[in-house]
Amino acid sequence: MVESTRAPARASARTRILDAAVKLIAREGINDVRIARIAMEAGVSPALLHYHFASRDALLAEAIEHSYVLAGDIRTGRDEAAVTATERLRWMIDQCLPAEGSLHDDWMLWVELWVRAARRPELRLTSARLYARMHAWFAQVVGDGVARGELAVADPARTVDRLLALIDGYGIRTLVEDPAMPLERARAEIWAAIAPELGVLPPQGG
């Protein structure tokens, strides 16, 4: 009976820690943010934070997973409302670019993961797993579009790989506020490159 009452409290504390970590790591970076500050933001003790997360790498990996799940809750409720595959892809691409707010924070976490995974093999599986999930999300929509005759794609898996590479490449320039690559141009350039491969015209304004 005692154990059953403690489990929800532990889960709640873990969620609060991850929420705080997403916010602070995105703003300060995993190397500069103080663990004690994350604990304070979450309303827990530093000892409890260390109980749940043995290292900064573990905290970063789970914070990114947590951020991805939260974004997934939004995606599940909204991308299904689009009528055509092109409309769904347009919305999905927008959700993967570093607009202001939570999308910008998500990108900052990804950058932290890229840099640390390049140096730390233990984080590479996290990176690969998240890319696989993103790939599957896009591949499902592309496959549905092909099945309905809306898209003409010779190799959906390779097309999705190229699309994700375009999003990463243009997105990072937008994230660092390259004056030559504002968000609107990044979106337009992605569509200009991928639309012929999808067998569609770029959406107007996109």
We report the CATH number of the domain holding residue 38 as 1.10.10.60
Q: Are residues 93 and 40 in the same domain?
A: no
Residue 74: what pLDDT?
A: 53
Residue 44: what pLDDT?
A: 92
Q: Are residues 174 and 73 in the same domain?
A: yes
Residue 135: what pLDDT?
A: 94
Q: Are residues 115 and 142 in the same domain?
A: yes
Residue 204 lies in a domain: no
Residue 128 lies in a domain: yes
Domain that holds residue 26: 1-53
Q: Are residues 44 and 64 in the same domain?
A: no
Residue 28: what pLDDT?
A: 86
Q: Are residues 49 and 75 in the same domain?
A: no
Sequence length of the chain is: 206
Residue 58: what pLDDT?
A: 85
Rounded Cα distance, 205 and 185, in Å = 10
Residue 12: what pLDDT?
A: 84
Q: Are residues 119 and 166 in the same domain?
A: yes
Residue 6: what pLDDT?
A: 41
Rounded Cα distance, 181 and 175, in Å = 9
Residue 175: what pLDDT?
A: 95
Residue 144 lies in a domain: yes
Tokens of 58: 């573990």
Q: Are residues 61 and 31 in the same domain?
A: no
| Domain count across the chain | 2
Q: Are residues 45 and 142 in the same domain?
A: no
**Which residue positions in the chain have pLDDT lower than 50?**
1-9, 76
Residue 39: what pLDDT?
A: 92
Q: Are residues 69 and 170 in the same domain?
A: yes
Residue 8: what pLDDT?
A: 46
Residue 80: what pLDDT?
A: 56
Q: Are residues 153 and 188 in the same domain?
A: yes
Residue 14 lies in a domain: yes
Residue 203 lies in a domain: no
- pTM of the prediction? 0.80
Specify the CATH number for the domain of residue 84: 1.10.357.10
Residue 205 lies in a domain: no
Q: Are residues 18 and 110 in the same domain?
A: no
Rounded Cα distance, 206 and 186, in Å = 9
Q: Are residues 33 and 108 in the same domain?
A: no
Residue with tokens 């347009």: 90
